[in-house]
Structure 1
Amino acid sequence: MDEADIAQQEVELSLTLSLQRKEPSLAATGVCHFCSEPVAEGQKFCDSDCEEDWRRLQWQRSQRVRG
């Protein structure tokens, strides 16, 4: 593992921790919160890709400057 890999891991960990602190509680609605595809009972996302995309979108929204 080189320095770039380590840096990438640190960025991903930082993002994950930031989102965990600020993430609102999501209710399971029967559809994926990102793509609106049907999901199994109790699930919030259809797969890990949609969950990651939703988390990144939430992070991006939190970084916007409001004025």
Structure 2
Amino acid sequence: MIGQVFTLVLKRFFYKICCIGLYTILLSKILQTIFYCKITVKYVFKCTLFILFLMCVYSTTYEVLVEW
């Protein structure tokens, strides 16, 4: 029972982390092209990654609780 929940969490979390990584790389490249400033991109990259990570944790927890 606990093993199934743990496996479900890992699968969903890993998938979302991959999506977050791709989205953040794309966003940072777009901002880098627009602003030509690496400091701004690094700051935005870190903030975006942190916000998306929190959203990922929240949605994964919600999905697991709903399915469980």
Place the TM-score, normalised by the shorter chain, in its bin: 0.3 to 0.5
TM value normalised by structure 2: 0.36
Where relative contact order (Cα < 8 A, 6+ residues apart) is larger, the structure is 2
Is the radius of gyration larger for structure 1 or structure 2?
2
TM value normalised by structure 1: 0.36
Higher helix proportion, which one?
2
